[in-house]
Amino acid sequence: MAEFTMELNDEQKEVRDWLHGFAADVMRPAAAEWDEREETPWPVIQEAAKVGIYSLDFYAQQYFDATGLGIPMAMEELFWGDAGIALSIVGTGLAAVGVLANGTEEQIGTWIPQMYGDPSDVKVAAFCSSEPDAGSDVASMRTRAVYDEAKDEWVINGTKTWATNGGIANVHVVVASVDPGLGSKGHASFIVPPGTPGLTQGQKFKKHGIRASHTAEVVLDGVRVPGSCLLGGKEKLDERLARAREKARKGGERVKNAAMATFEASRPAVGAMAVGTARAAYEVALDYARTREQFGRPIIDNQGVAFQLADMRTRIDAARLLVWRASWMAVNGRPFEAAEGSMSKLFASETAKKVTAQAIQILGGNGYTREYPVERMHRDAAIYTIFEGTSEIQRLVISRTISGMAIR
């Protein structure tokens, strides 16, 4: 087990500086353009693939970093560059984590490479869980998967929403109910291979922020996938469902479902994304406050501005420490006994919203225009308190964990 540390080693610093250079030199110059276009920045993703950032190998190296700091360090630097472009680069990772967390070795080896493609022909993947009537309330999921034993195929019907890369992905990972009577315990995850009939893109959303990232509905109409596309395999699913049914009869303990396992694993990473956006806005505000003069002196000379910057930096550092702690715990198998993963996501998300708003205030009228990036950063930051579990859901998870009560 790696000891918890707040200091990156030499190799991690080298990777951090490399990512920072890519974010500064490639992502930032393109950020405003792709935000306005509201399209997937394929040329930037391809550049990331060429240098090795958009690849299975890179994320695997960070994911298996024994200190737990590889992924949060990478997320912070990329989202410091630009949140919308960064999400287009890392969005495939949520689907990949879904396969890593729940799939067999054969499924991992088969499907994850197809999620990324190669530098000459980049691909993306999508993780499809949320539905029009089932976002935070995952037990209300209506997408159904029915097993056709004669053909060893699963037939999937339903509509997914808020899917990053939904409809344009090469590989879709879809969460569906296989036993509605068990609620969220009756869910399973499926690979939908490229070109599968019946899967189509529904509405593409025009969003407030992260506009360079493609978000859409995914419609599944009689989609048939081979039995081998059930993540983990049918034997494992049947065993899990049997345990869930037995515990349901006894009124026993809760059983963790595949989608929630994916979200738990990714929450500290989302916190790191929020830290990156907050840090970017803080740095713009700090530089502006040092150089902008009013009444014959830099505005940072005023306590009203200086104290805001002090609070911004304090919150950013605190958020990073919570993220690093949760990431270290996850990699080293430490249980989240106080919902530390949710804590990190909650605090970092709220920090990003607050810090970007303060940055606009410090820049004044300039901060409200698109001539300065803090306006875009503030729009981007709004998503962190919503996706992969709203702030309200994080508080619910934390309160239930620390109290042991079924708080509603």
DSSP string, 304-360: HHHHHHHHHHHHHHHHHHHHHHHHHHHHTT---TT-HHHHHHHHHHHHHHHHHHHHH
DSSP string, 209-256: S-TTS-EEEEEEEEEEEEGGGBTT-HHHHHHHHHHHHHHHHHT-----
What number of other Cβ atoms are within 10 A of residue 189's Cβ?
28
Nearest one of 385, 389, 374 to 35, comparing CA atoms: 374
Residue 233: exposed, middle, or buried by beta-carbon count in 10 A (0-12, 13-18, 19+)? middle
What number of other Cβ atoms are within 10 A of residue 245's Cβ?
16
Per the annotation, the verdict on 253 as an active-site residue is no
Nearest one of 173, 84, 182, 170 to 130, comparing CA atoms: 173
What number of other Cβ atoms are within 10 A of residue 153's Cβ?
17
CB neighbour list of residue 57: distance below 8 Å, 6 or more residues apart: none
What number of other Cβ atoms are within 10 A of residue 263's Cβ?
26
How far is 28 from 287, CA to CA, in rounded Å?
A: 17
How far is 225 from 331, CA to CA, in rounded Å?
A: 32
Instruction: Write down the catalytic residue from 14, 246, 388, 392.
Output: 388
Catalytic residues: 388
